[in-house]
Amino acid sequence: MLPPPFDLTREAGYRRWRQAKLADHPSEALELVVNVADPRALSEGEKQALLQRCATANMAVYCSPQCQQDKSIPLQLGRQLGLHQLDGNWLADEDGVSPIEVAPPAGDRPAFIPYTNRPIKWHTDGYYQPSSRLIRAIVLHCVRPASAGGENALMDHDMAYIALRDANPDWVAALMAPDAMTIPERLDDDGVARAAQSGPVFSVDPLSGKLHMRYTARTRSVLWKDNAITRDAVAFLGQLLEGDHPHIFRLRLAPGMGLVCNNVLHDRSGFEDAPLQPRLLYRARYLDRIAEPAKVDISGEGAETYGKSASSALSISASSYP
């Protein structure tokens, strides 16, 4: 049996969850920001402030003075937030961290869009992976931004679920079908490098009981279930993400800033690099979900959220609630 918020036959449970979610959710991107002295060694207040935002909005943004090329930053930060099962995907470095930058021509990375300067459409990470290896969380640390472009749009997948369910519950049912979205096999010179993966867009994580989303807005190398209700649901979701929804936050990370999230929906605009200072971010992906916050009052110690350093460093365009 599904938890009440995600069981289409239990409307009262959904309404209670929806009301709480809308009441607590940030109304602008600055509410996601926590100033931290060093993401490798958080104070208890800093840690709880990040965890609380992730519990409320599935994401948090930190602002720190640590902008050196230190790949341990996302790993040490992740451990403090309860993330231990690193997804060492084949394009990551040996330590499991992926340097997100324009890759040199040699090797495998240039064939994949994250390692170029091209725009990336809306997606969640690891949408092509099997259900046994769900990407539940991401840590992204900015060393250097692009000289122009490279902004991200973010949306809590819980809010996308609410938008679809409010519009038409049948669309949610269609996107929860086990064959709603199929990613075809990937071939290389040796044959099948990755088998085809079919699965739902919306599912309930068996480990946490929370909503998980598996999605890509790309139109190539994706096969949607061929029926009218699925096509309508996918069209609505695409329009939602391309529109000016109040829960879509747009930001550009500055040096020392980063994103921690439960694999929320996100995109990336195209960008231009400065030849001597190219864009560089470190990304760690996890099979864990970010830990829940402690049930204590953390107002005060080390948990500054709207300070001058955060607001001056973060370039934001975000709508507010009506």
Which bin fits 96, alpha (ψ -120 to 50), beta or left (φ > 0)? left
Under CATH, which number does the domain 4-318 receive?
A: 3.60.130.10
Amino acid, res. 161:
Y
**Angle of CA points 167, 244, 228, to nearest 5°:** 35
Contact 206, 137 (CB under 8 A): no
Q: For the chain, which residues make up each domain, given as ranges?
A: 4-318
Which of the four pLDDT bands, split at 50, 70 and 90, describes residue 165? very high
pLDDT value for 107? 82
Average pLDDT over residues 69-92: 94
pLDDT value for 307? 43
Provide the 3-class DSSP secondary structure of residue 217: coil
Average pLDDT over residues 232-237: 98
Which of the four pLDDT bands, split at 50, 70 and 90, describes residue 105? confident
pLDDT tens column, 249-304: 999 999 999 999 999 999 999 999 999 999 999 999 999 999 999 985 544 444 55
Exposure string over 45-66, b if 16+ CB within 10 A, otherwise e = bbbbbbbbbbbbbbbbbbbbeb
Q: Flag whether pLDDT at 43 surpasses 80.
A: yes
Stronger pLDDT, 231 or 306, i.e. the higher one: 231
pLDDT value for 203? 98
pLDDT tens column, 206-233: 999 999 999 999 988 899 999 999 999 9
pLDDT value for 298? 44
For the chain, state the CA radius of gyration: 19
Report which of 92, 91, 60 is spatially closest to residue 75, judged by C-alpha positions: 92
Measured between alpha carbons, how far is residue 226 from residues 122, 196, 219, 229 in Å?
21, 17, 14, 9
